[in-house]
Structure 1
Amino acid sequence: MDSNSGQKTKIGVLLVGHGSRLPYGEEVINGIADIYRKEVDHPVAVGFMNISRPSIPEAINELAAMGVEKIIVTPVFLAHGVHTKHDIPHILGLDNGSEHHHHHEHEHEEFEFDGEIVYTEPLGADPRIAEIIRERVKSAI
């Protein structure tokens, strides 16, 4: 079943997390990726901005090795901040030479990908997130 056969470009998705010395964030992002993979037909990878592995460049290389031609990068962050506006675009090579970024462990790693990279908005204020909050509060009452 090749659902991409009718498409001009083979798409891959990269979910980006912050990264941490603690395992919890990594477990959550990988869990979200597992749920998402069951709902889509394209390859899905996870990459971390800092500390955790795989790094963003490693994840891009993983998708490139699968033959994707376009990678849609989604930061799994609630809101924009320095990381989503500056650090991640810098790692992706989308920052047009911007000098404003933090120094992170993975920032000097490189990737081999000649295709298109599309960087999306973070999760944002979404009614589905509010529904999760309602469920959490209801279970605590």
Structure 2
Amino acid sequence: MSEALILFAHGARDPSWAGPLERLRDRVAARAPASQVGVAFLEFMAPSLPEAIDAAVASGATRIEIVPVFLAQGGHVRRDVPVMLEAAAIRHPQADIRLQPVLGEAQAVLDAMADVVLREAAQGR
């Protein structure tokens, strides 16, 4: 079974907005060399989530984990993503496509963000 991880974010009109997500992708890929690691966007940027899922399946992935790189679960994750994943499951019945919890709600992420906030504040930035 081949696994793919897709880091899914909102997207923006400014191409430089994707920089942090691409750096996260590179770090995850370095730590998970047996997995395909890619990015996908809800709007304004490519690839879209359906395109990224299709590409992962075309590359041999049979298990695909979608990681919403959002600070909190909002309407897009609650309403839009499940519809996209249902359609992907119909297109690719051989693939196990799963939605992970929103990254920004993970306790470890919140702790890391608090550390950065406090460190930056202490340095007067």
After TM superposition, the score normalised by the length of structure 2 is 0.83
Question: Structure 1 regions of 5+ residues with no counterpart?
Answer: 1-8, 95-108
Of Structure 1 and Structure 2, the greater strand share is in 2
Question: 2 CA distance for matches of 1:36 and 1:50?
Answer: 23
Question: Structure 2 regions of 5+ residues with no counterpart?
Answer: none
Q: Which moved more, 1:56-65 or 1:85-94?
A: 85-94
Q: How many residues align?
A: 119
1:16 is aligned to 2:8: yes
Quickly say closer, same or farther: Cα 1:138–1:112, change in 2 above 3 A.
farther
Q: Report the 3-state secondary structure (helix = DSSP H, G, I; strand = E; otherwise coil) of the residue aligned with 1:51.
A: coil
Match of 1:116 in 2: 96
Alpha carbons 1:60, 1:113 under 8 Å: kept:
no
Of Structure 1 and Structure 2, the greater helix share is in 2
| Cα shift at 1:52 | 0.5
In structure 2, give the amino acid aligned to 1:70: R
Q: Write the deviation string for residues 82-124 of structure 1: whole angstroms up to 9, x where unpaired.
A: 0111112222227xxxxxxxxxxxxxx9x94330111011121
Taking only aligned residues, the RMSD between alpha carbons, in angstroms, comes to 2.3
1:27 is aligned to 2:27: no
Q: Report the 3-state secondary structure (helix = DSSP H, G, I; strand = E; otherwise coil) of the residue aligned with 1:45.
A: strand
